[in-house]
Amino acid sequence: MVSGSNMSTKAHSSMPPPLVDPVASESLPRVTSLFVEGLARRLASLCASTGLSQETASVADGVLRNLIVPWSRVEDFARRGNDGWVSEISDDNTPIEFSVTLSPAGSEVRVLFEPQGEAPTLASHRDSALRMHELLAERYAADLSRFKLVQDLFTPPEMQGPFALWSAVVFADGKAPSFKAYFNPQAQGVGRAVALVDEGLRRLGMTRAWHHLAATIARRGPYRDELKYFALDLSASEQARVKVYVRHHDATPEDLERAATAAPGSTPGEVQDFARAMGGGERRFKERATFTCAAFVGGRDDRPSATTQYVPVCAYALDDLEVEQRVSSYLRAHGMDDAPYRHMLNGFANRQLNGGVGLQSWVAFRRYQGVPRLTVYLGTETRQVFPVGSVPADTREHTSFRSASAVMSRVAQYGLSEHPLVRALPRLGEHRQQLWLLLNNTFELLTNTTELSEHAIGTWLEDNSAFAPSLSPELSGYPHLFAEAVQLFDCSPDAIEALAARSAARSAVQALAGVIAEFLEAEAVPSHRTASAEPPTFERRSAQELAKLDSAGIIALPSVIRGAWGVHKELWAALDRLAALSFGAPPTIVTSG
């Protein structure tokens, strides 16, 4: 579920040799699997119906076969059972997805795929994907210079998450195939995703980029605005992009509109209009989450050059015929010709559009330098056709919980200690007032909500007490951000919500204080750590509160969710504000809403 590429300008006559050498490929079976042949036919139909030249279609066929034949022979994916790898690339778990970008600037056909290893495991697929990218560099001159700068972050040997590394190739008339890589921000755990993306952007020269994203696209916190993909154009061009994909759970068209403001030149109301049109008037996308992609062009600005909004149209339409009607109506209503879209869809479809839902999974829109681009994502339906009226790849489980314990456990995965500001504590040495603010906020909330106090933090604050009365005017409103976040919930008329918020805040700040204390002790602050009560008292109190929340049963879960995730969002936003003060802020920092 990713968007079109920034194409290379090489002509077909200068295209590099195929990935599989013609002589060496004689050892491959002349008749490949039904899986490969079926994909090749669909790609040929897609290129023809999109209006690409026969030359481009021929190149696309060759590249597709050269890229997937080496791993497609492991087994026939169409026949693989549930014991095999479950790929997230497409709704029916086929490890390949097609998409088409339609624009006055020219059409593109893209193939996204997950290289498969010898075994259906994350480690095996990681190794296969890394080898694939080395071959792309060797045979297709894909540029891996930026890839190498972040490879260790996103593909560690013991990586986690639902995928390791994806690849994409894009075809357009008059241009050589271009390639992209898609990393997994959750490769070191969901809680570290923000820190990994921030570090990845910094390594690529965009030191303030995350602060722009935190204020706009990821403003609702790392749980509701989930980091899913970190993508690179594998090109040495000055126009090569770095892209960050954020999945918006339980979002509204207004949320997507606000996310679009991350990039300059967004047209007020345009994204809301698109989201409602694709969602059939949907006011909130609960069944399946939407996406925003922020694209950065290196050497220019730490603000995205463009954003793209994605609506999972298949989850909010009865069938693909209804999707076709929505897309065509939207194009016509906005002065765009819908004939290329309908021609492409009719050429690609191998069933009646009212015979199922999911042939068209996503529709994405972006406007860059005044030019609109509409991208339609197409499922191969290799494994199944989803019934009319069903919801392919429902994401409601992300926001559904069976108990208060499950809520608190998930909140703990997104620990405040993984916030980029906390991960960057050594850099705060150059920003002493901001460091004082972080420690004062942490110490105040720790002593107000727990039986614990942190001697190292308290000692540092005493030694640096001169900072308190000398804060600059722009910092004077920041000493009590954490406490104010909890007070928002203390005043709630819902006792369960208030209890859940305080319990979540207590656990979060205890972990945060521990990380900060370790940093201070390493910096030669006295290491005699004391507490006003023994840790078991704290643990017993937490266990008692959790038992109380769980005893309230299912009926109280909405209150628990509001309290726990609400206070987490506010505390995370407070850290965003402090980070922006320290390392460079956009003009406006959004902290709630």
Residue 390 has pLDDT above 80, yes or no: yes
* Contacts of residue 249, Cβ cutoff 8 Å, sequence gap at least 6: 223, 224, 225, 226, 289, 395, 398, 399
Buried (b) or exposed (e) across 392-411, using 16+ Cβ within 10 A?
bbebeeeeebeebeebbebb
Query: Does 189 fall in a domain?
Result: yes
Q: 3-class SS at 76?
A: coil
Could you tell me the two tokens for 412? 């703990």
Last residue of a domain, one of 345, 376, 396: 396
344 and 196, same structural domain?
yes
Q: Are residues 419 and 335 in the same domain?
A: no
Q: DSSP string covering 463-530, please? A: HTGGGTTT--GGGTT-TTHHHHHHHHHHT-S-HHHHHHHHHHHHHHHHHHHHHHHHHHHHTT------
552-561 tens-digit pLDDT: 777 789 999 9
Nearest in space to 504 (alpha carbons), one of 395, 404, 411, 397: 411
pLDDT (tens digit per residue) in 36-48: 888 999 999 999 9
At residue 8, the pLDDT reads 31
Among 396, 424, 449, residue at a domain's last position:
396
Asked if 473 and 569 sit in the same domain, the reply is yes
Q: Sorting pLDDT into bands at 50, 70 and 90, what band is 80? A: low
Beta carbons within 8 Å of 48's beta carbon, 6+ residues apart: 57, 347
Residues paired with 285 in a beta bridge: 251
**What pLDDT shows up at residue 593?**
37
Q: Is residue 589 part of a domain?
A: no
Q: Is the pLDDT of residue 473 over 60?
A: yes
| Least confident range of 285-294, 464-473, 481-490, 506-515 | 464-473
In a domain, 354, yes or no: yes
Tell whether the model's pLDDT for residue 155 goes beyond 90.
Answer: yes
Per-residue pLDDT of 318-360, as tens digits, reads 999 999 999 999 999 999 999 999 999 999 999 999 999 999 9
- 385 and 480 part of one domain: no
Between 91 and 591, residue with greater pLDDT = 91
Question: What pLDDT, on the 0 to 100 scale, is given for residue 591?
Answer: 34
Same domain, 349 and 463: no
Do residues 392 and 409 both lie within one domain?
Answer: no
Contact 510, 446 (CB under 8 A): yes
In this prediction, residue 19 carries a pLDDT of 37
- For the chain, how big is the Rg over CA atoms in Å? 25
SS3 content of the chain, % helix, strand, coil (to 5): 50, 15, 40
Region of residue 521 (left: phi > 0; alpha: psi -120 to 50; beta: else)? alpha
What percentage of the chain reaches a pLDDT higher than 70? 87
Do 37 and 84 belong to one domain?
A: yes
Long-range contacts of 257-261 (CB under 8 A, 24+ apart): 258/216, 258/219, 258/590, 259/216, 259/217, 259/219, 259/292, 259/307, 259/309, 260/292, 260/307, 260/309, 261/216
Whether residue 7 is contained in a domain is answered as no
Model confidence at 302, pLDDT cuts 50, 70, 90, reads: confident
User: For the chain, what is the domain count?
Assistant: 2
User: Is residue 439 in a domain?
Assistant: yes
Give the least confident one: 25-39, 188-202, 267-281, 468-482.
Answer: 25-39
> Does 392 share its domain with 497?
no
Give the list of residues 6+ apart from residue 496 with CB closer than 8 angstroms, or none. Answer: 549, 552, 556, 559, 560, 563
Question: Is residue 464 located within the same domain as residue 355?
Answer: no
- Identify whether 100 is part of a domain: yes
* pLDDT higher than 60, residue 281: yes
131 has a pLDDT exceeding 80: yes
Identify the pLDDT of residue 545. Answer: 74
Q: Which of 396, 427, 453 is the last residue of a domain?
A: 396
Q: Does residue 6 fall inside a structural domain?
A: no
* pLDDT surpassing 50 at residue 525: no
Q: Quick one: average pLDDT of 514-519?
A: 91
Nearest to 323 by CA among 250, 377, 385: 377
CA 133 – CA 143 distance, rounded (Å):
9
What is the rounded CA–CA span in Å between residue 451 and residue 446? 8
CA-nearest of 110, 115, 85, 78 to 97 is 110
Q: Are residues 221 and 297 in the same domain?
A: yes
Mean pLDDT within 261-276 = 91
What average pLDDT does the segment 209-225 reach? 95
Over residues 162-166, the mean pLDDT reads 96
Q: Which of 72, 159, 71 is nearest to 122 (CA)?
A: 159
- Binning pLDDT at 50, 70 and 90, where does residue 81 land? low
pLDDT-based confidence at 78, cuts 50/70/90? Answer: low
Query: What is the pLDDT at residue 367?
Result: 87
DSSP state of 74: T
Domain limits for position 430: 401-583
Q: Is the pLDDT of residue 523 over 80?
A: no
Q: Mean pLDDT for the chain?
A: 86
CB atoms under 10 Å from CB of 321, counted, come to 17
pLDDT value for 79? 57
- My answer on whether 408 and 387 are in the same domain is no
- Has residue 212 been placed in a domain? yes
Give the pLDDT confidence of 252-262 residue by residue, as tens digits. 999 999 999 99
Percent of the chain with pLDDT over 90: 66
Q: How many of the other CB atoms lie within 10 Å of CB of 115? A: 25
Let me know whether 136 and 237 are in one domain: yes
